[in-house]
Structure 1
Amino acid sequence: MEETATGVVLCDDGLARPAWAATDPLLRRYYDTEWGMPVRGEQAVYERICLEGFQAGLSWATILRKRPAFREAFAGFHVDTVAAFTDEDVERLMANPRIVRNRAKIRAAITNARATAALRAEGGLSDFVWSFQPAATPAPRTIGEVPTTSPESVALARALRRRGFAFVGPTTMFALMEAIGMVDTHLVGSHRRGSSGIWT
């Protein structure tokens, strides 16, 4: 493997990937098959918001490796089930070594489930989040040009916080927007650029 002039790594299969997706097989598979592909639906978007929140301050590899355990611990991220979690559930989750045991993040996942249920009166979480899709996507030519926030991620974070969500800062929400296909930050010329079908 070798790093190219744009900052991506030319992998042994001949494809260029960002450094974070170049070596770990799990991250490579996630990058090649999931990251940046459209995600819609209440439960799916809620799960992504939770996992992005848990990732804050940690590597995405850590979260991805723990994703099956997160899904088991949080009832498949079924919104109404998590919304009904109690203090006893918080303690159960804090005792689970297979997930990230951060009390504030665990409570945020429960808080966000309740806020997600409340958003049904406004058309639901998925449509709400996607309403902040920008008119144009970034077109970075190098890794250094990939943004970490946008006016839309700032606005989305603010709007979600007003509706009771937690751990939804502008950087976290931009990462969400990248992950679910709302923006395409694959480098121009990358084999993954435009793979979502949303941006050409």
Structure 2
Amino acid sequence: MQTVEPFTRIYQRACERKGGALALEALLSNCASAEDIAVIPDNLLLGELTKKVFQSGFVWRVVRQKWPGFCDVFFDFNIEKILLMSDEMLEEKARDVRIIRNANKVFTVRHNALMIHDLALEHGSFARFIANWPTENIIGLWAYLKQHGARLGGNTGPYALRAIGKDTFILSSDVEAYLRATKVFDGGINSKRSLAQIQQQFNVWQQQSNRSLQQISQIIAFSVGDNYVGMLQ
């Protein structure tokens, strides 16, 4: 596989692997509208960022199981209350058995609350800032979260955006392998040059398919790798 395929070919291969078009479509998920994202309370968005930070490099299931404890410990992620927390209070929270006791990640809650607070002052809400960001430059939003937030680099920021409904592709291992094999990029996957090349190609596929970035990346993942759901082997 040496050249980039038109999206119709990728889609056809995904259909073959998943047992047909109907089976494939049933596996795809939809992103939210900008209007729906814009009205999400900022405390819920901080919660999603925090969840993805704690899930990074950890067992996601355990974080989900402990999530009610996280909400109790961090006041349902009330931005104003969290910004008033001192280092000593955060250190105490990091010892609370109701959450995953990782002090470095606990401190990100206040850091990301401050980012959200500052953006809310400028844009009316963090949700509105996210909703209005153009998806044709979604990597720019990734970069912003990485630069101004805490522990939101790599796939953590994109996974958080996906969780709140923002249209974004995810550079999963399957997607990365396909993009590298077809020479969409040839450097480090997180370099500015590589991400720009990947964004450009996703924009082309979006024009070809009229689908969301989210569904395009899902279809790519389903078109490669050992995932023959719904097929006789």
Q: TM-score range by the shorter chain?
A: 0.5 to 0.7
- Higher alpha-carbon Rg: 2
Question: Relative contact order: is structure 1 or structure 2 higher (C-alpha 8 Å, sep ≥ 6)?
Answer: 2
TM-score (ref. length: structure 2): 0.54
- Residue of structure 1 in register with 2:111 after alignment: 111
Q: What is the DSSP-based 3-state SS (H/G/I as helix, E as strand, rest coil) of the residue aligned with 2:156?
A: helix
Unaligned runs of 5+ in 1: 8-15, 19-30, 136-150, 189-200
C-alpha distance in 1 between matches for 2:152 and 2:133: 14
* Superposition pairs of residues 1-200 of structure 1, within 5 angstroms: 5-6=17-18, 39=37, 40-123=40-123, 124-134=125-135, 152=138, 154-162=139-147, 164-183=148-167, 185=214
Q: Helix, strand or coil: the match of 2:53?
A: helix
Distance 2:69 2:158 in 1: 25
Unaligned ranges ≥5, structure 2: 1-15, 20-25, 168-211, 220-233
CA shift, 1:84, in A, is 0.9
Q: Which has the higher helix share?
A: 2
SS of residue in 1 equivalent to 2:135: coil
Superposed displacement of residue 161, structure 1: 4.1
Any conservation in 2 of the 1:80–1:114 contact (CA below 8 Å)? no
- Distance in 2 (alpha carbons) for counterparts of 1:155 and 1:55: 23
Identity, % of aligned positions: 22
After superposition, the CA RMSD in angstroms is 2.9
Are the equivalent residues in 2 in contact too, given 1:48–1:176 (CA < 8 A)? Answer: yes
Whether contact under 8 Å (1:133, 1:182) holds in the other structure is: no
Give the count of matched residue pairs. Answer: 146
CA shift digits 1:121-177 (9 cap, x unpaired): 221211112233525xxxxxxxxxxxxxxx51x321322344x31111141121122
Q: Could you tell me which amino acid in structure 2 is paired with residue 155 of structure 1? A: G
